[in-house]
Amino acid sequence: GDSVTQMEGPVTLSEEAFLTINCTYTATGYPSLFWYVQYPGEGLQLLLKATKADDKGSNKGFEATYRKETTSFHLEKGSVQVSDSAVYFCALSDLDDYKLSFGAGTTVTVRA
């Protein structure tokens, strides 16, 4: 079945550092790929998405490119802020009934 593997955390960074969180997937066909973010005490929010190979999703300074050849969707941000401290989830969408398969989540802490 479909599955997502993402980099284990926790990750601790200083403000203005570069962030990358690795995500790889296994799926039949060509699913859509997502990054969701969960701030402390809240539900998940969509951060960005990409629906086909070579698409780049971007939002709030974060970017991720759908790489079919490496089955990857790594999340990057060039200069993180304290407010980026959260748990980040990579996910893919089942094409038949829109179920999402999530990675285990990566906790990111940004220190001032």
Which positions lie near other proteins, rule CB under 8 A?
4, 32, 34, 36, 42-46, 49, 51, 89, 93, 97-100, 102-105
Query: Minimum Å distance from CB 108 to other proteins?
Result: 15
Query: Minimum Å distance from CB 78 to other proteins?
Result: 25
Distance, CA of 58 to CA of 55 (rounded, Å): 10
Distance, CA of 1 to CA of 84 (rounded, Å): 32
Query: Minimum Å distance from CB 35 to other proteins?
Result: 12
> Which among 85, 78, 44, 42 is positioned nearest to 62, based on CA atoms?
78
Pairing of strands 32-38, 86-93: antiparallel
Pairing of strands 32-38, 100-102: unpaired
